[in-house]
Amino acid sequence: MTLVEYRRKRDFSKTPEPRGKIEKPHEKRSFVIQKHAARKLHYDFRLEVDGVLTSWAIPKGPSLDPQVRRLAVQVEDHPLSYLHFEGTIPEGAYGSGEVIVWDTGTYEISGGEKTMRKGLAEGRLTFVLRGKKVHGTYSLVRFQGKRQWLLRKRNDKYARPGEDLTRYDRSVISSRRLPDGLALTD
């Protein structure tokens, strides 16, 4: 776990993102899904592991439909303080565009940190998310190279075939919506 790549990509005199540090793990492990209107709109899914946020960019966002597999491209670890980051990354800075906290909460993985590390190394993770929008068991499976994973909802009582979760487009901490958000209300 390292923040070297995260820091190398950013100029903290230009971006409002936190410089961060590797922190003591929280008692309950957190997750966040940020909606990020960068050059291409995407969702950033981050799971707390060993005091940082292991991160994936998910172009289409998570689904509650077990039939749907969503591409998740692993990106650099982010600092834990990124859990609460919402704001505008200015033009010319890495990842420029608006960011909102689309969902956040805690997650569980049986076996804890040890299973998490092993799963990251082996490319297979199963965990339970407890967010405001996203609930229940998900799996992430690496299918290609070092960074290409697929996120899928597992069958449980929270599964909703056909449901498009991304229509709920507001921030769960500020109710803000990105300028290009859909006209649907939640």
Q: Residues in the site for Mn ion, rule: CB under 5 A?
A: 36, 44
Shortest distance (Å) from residue 146 CB to Mn ion: 18
The pair phi, psi for residue 175, each rounded to 5°, is: 65, 5
Question: Rounded to the nearest whole angstrom, what is the least distance from the CB of residue 169 to Mn ion in the complex?
Answer: 16
Buried b (16+ CB within 10 A) or exposed e, 120-146: beeeebebbbebebbbbbbbbbbeeee
CB of 113 to Mn ion, least distance (A): 25
CB of 44 to Mn ion, least distance (A): 4
Q: Which residues of 44-81 are buried (b: 16+ CB within 10 A; e: fewer)?
A: bbbbbbbbbbbbbbbeebbbbbbebbbbbebbbbbbbe
- Which residue lies nearer to Mn ion by CB, 42 or 170? 42
| Of residues 36 and 152, the one with the C-beta less far from Mn ion | 36
Q: Report helix, strand or coil for 182.
A: coil
Nearest distance from residue 3's CB to Mn ion, in Å?
Answer: 16
Taken in order 166, 182, 175, 47, the sign of the CA dihedral is: positive
Q: Are 88 and 16 in contact (CB under 8 A)?
A: yes
Closer residue to Mn ion, CB minimum distance, 94 or 168: 94
CB closest to Mn ion, residue no: 36
Of residues 57 and 165, the one with the C-beta less far from Mn ion? 57
Question: Which one, 53 or 137, has the nearer CB to Mn ion?
Answer: 53
